[in-house]
Structure 1
C-alpha cells in the first residue's frame, strides 16, 4: 500500500458527527471527476474510498447501490446517473443544478469541525502526497477554475495558503515545505501522520546536523534522536497533564528542548538565559523525567 493510500484510509476511518460527515462528503463531491445534475462520478484507485462514499450517502439518507461501482483496470468509479438522486444531492448542498459552475458554499459548514472535514474530503477526492521517505510534496488538483480559486482563498483564510500552478489543464494547489504539510495534515485530522512526518524530518535533520559537525556513527545518532524524543514526550505529557509542576527554570529548558530537538545538551545550555553547563542541562532534564514518571504513576493509580 502506498503512503498516500494509507493516509486516505486513515482519514475515512475518522468517525464524524452528521454535519461533519456531510462536509467531508461535500469536499469529496466538489473535487470529484463529475458533479452535476446529469451525472455524479467519483473515481479512486482504492475500492475502500468508493465504498466509504456510498456509506456517507447512506448516513445522509441517500441509499445507493454498490452495483453503481464500475471497475476499470486501474480504478473504481462510482457513477450516479439518476437525475432525481443527483438533484437531491445538489439541493442538499445548496445548489439548484443549473449553475454554470459550482462555488464553495460555506453555509454547508455547521460547526467548527466542518471546515477541516471538508478539506479532508477534498484531499480524499483529488489529493496526493509523496512518501516522506522520498521527499515532501502534497497537492490537491481540479480542472474547475472557479472552484479552485474559491478553494485557494478558503485555504488562505485558514492560514494554510498553498502555492499554485497549472499542469495539463489542471489547476494544482500544493505544499513542498514539510512544516506546511504537517500543518495541513494536523488541521484535517491526520495528526498522527503529521507527527510521524515530523519525527522523520527531525531524524533526517539529526543525521545531516551530526554528519556536518562530527563523524560519529549511526548508533550515536540514534541515541540522540531517541533521547530527544523521550524528553519531548515527557514534556508534552506534563504540559497536557499538569504544567504547574514545572517551575520557571524547568519550563525554560522544556520549551528550549521542544523548539530545538536536534541540538546537544551543551548547545541547549548556551540558549538558556543564564548559561548552563552540559551537566546543568542534564540535571534539569532528569528532574523533568522524574516529574513525568510521578504523574504517570498517579494517573495509573500506582
Structure 2
C-alpha cells in the first residue's frame, strides 16, 4: 500500500468536530468530483463520481452524517482487463438536493445559484476546524504524497487555477507556503519541505501518518548528519595525511642534501620526531619535544623546514641548469 493510500485510509475515519465541519469536507469533495444533473423528467439530482473507493466511502459517510440522506450507489466496471472501477453516488429528491446545495453554498435560501460550486465559499471555512475539514476533503480527492523514504513531496491537483489559489490561501492561514505550477491541464498545489508536509498532515488530522512520516524524516536527518560528520572527518584525515607526507618528503630532502647539522635545535628535533612518528598528529609531536609546545608551534617549525627545503630545491635546480 502506498503512503498516499495509507493517509487517505486514515482520513476516512476522521469526521471532524461538528456538522459544520462535515459540510465543509463534503463541499470540498463535491467541488472536485460532484455534478448537478437532470434526469429525463427534468428533475435535478446530485452525482459524485470517482474511481477512488476511499473517496466514495467517505462521501457516503458524510452524506449520511451531515444531511441524514441516503445516497444511491452505483458501481461500474469500464474496463475489466484494467480493473477500472467507477463509483457513483447519487442524491435524488428535490427536497434533499436543495438542502445539500444550500448547505454547501451552491445556492442561496431563495434557490438562486450562489456561484460556481468549484470554489471555496468563505462561509464554509470561517472556523479553523472547518478549514481543516475542507483541506482534508480536497486532499482525499485530489491529493497525493510521496513516500518520505524516497522524497518529500505533497500535492493537490485541480483543473481550476482559481480553486488552486483558494486552497493555497487556506493553507497560508496555517502558515504553509504551498506553490502552484501548471502541469498539462492541471494546476498543481505542492509542498516540498518535510516540516511543512508534517504541518499539513497535522492540519488534516492524519496523526498516524504524521508519526510515520516524522519517524522516517528523523532517521534520514540523523543519517545525513552522521554522513556529513564522517565525510568531514575523512576529509580532515586525508588533509592531515597529505600534509604529513609532504612534511616527511621535505625533511628527507634536507637530510639527503644538507643534513640536519645546519638546522636550529628546535627544527632538528621536530624533523627527527616527524620521521620517527609519521602518523602522529601535530599535537602529539608537540608533546614529545624536550620542551613541549602547542599545535601552532609545531606547525610553524614544520613550515620553516618546508621553506628551507623549497629554497634548497630552487638552488639545486638553478645550479644543475647552469
With the length of structure 2 as denominator, give the TM-score of the two structures.
Answer: 0.59
Matched, 1:211 2:227: yes
Q: Does 1:51 align with 2:57?
A: yes
User: Which residue is equivalent to 2:90?
Assistant: 80
Cα deviation 1:209-248 (Å, max 9, x = unaligned): 2123238xxxxxxxxxxxxxxxxxxxxxxxxxxxxxxxxx
For the residue of structure 1 that corresponds to 2:151, the secondary structure is coil
Shift of 1:185: 0.6
How many residues in Structure 1 have an aligned counterpart in Structure 2?
212
Q: Is the 8 A contact 2:106 2:116 kept in 1?
A: no
Q: Residue 106 of structure 2 is aligned with which of 95, 100, 113?
A: 95
Distance 2:131 2:204 in 1: 8
Residues 159 and 75 of structure 1: is their aligned pair in 2 closer, same or farther, counting only changes over 3 Å? farther
The equivalent residue for 1:70 is 76
Partner residue, 1:170: 186
How far 1:195 sits from its partner (Å)? 2.5
Residue matched to 2:134: 118
Spell out, residue by residue over 1:16-64, the C-alpha distance to the aligned partner (whole angstroms, 9 max, x if none).
33222222212211222x433555333133x243122112101122211
Q: CA RMSD in A?
A: 2.4
Equivalent residue number for residue 289 of structure 2:
none
Q: Distance in 2 between matches of 1:20 and 1:98?
A: 22
Find the residue that maps to 2:128 and give its secondary structure: coil
SS at match of 1:36: strand
Structure 2 residue ranges without an equivalent (≥5) = 39-45, 232-322
CA shift at 1:175, angstroms?
Answer: 0.6
1:41 match: secondary structure: strand
On the 8 A contact 2:131/2:170 being kept in 1, the answer is no
d(CA) in 2 for partners of 1:109, 1:212:
45
CA distance in 1, matches of 2:86, 2:154: 22
Tell whether the 8 Å contact from 1:25 to 1:56 is kept in structure 2 after alignment.
yes
Q: Which has the larger radius of gyration?
A: 2
The 1:100–1:174 alpha-carbon spacing in structure 2 relative to 1, beyond 3 Å, is same
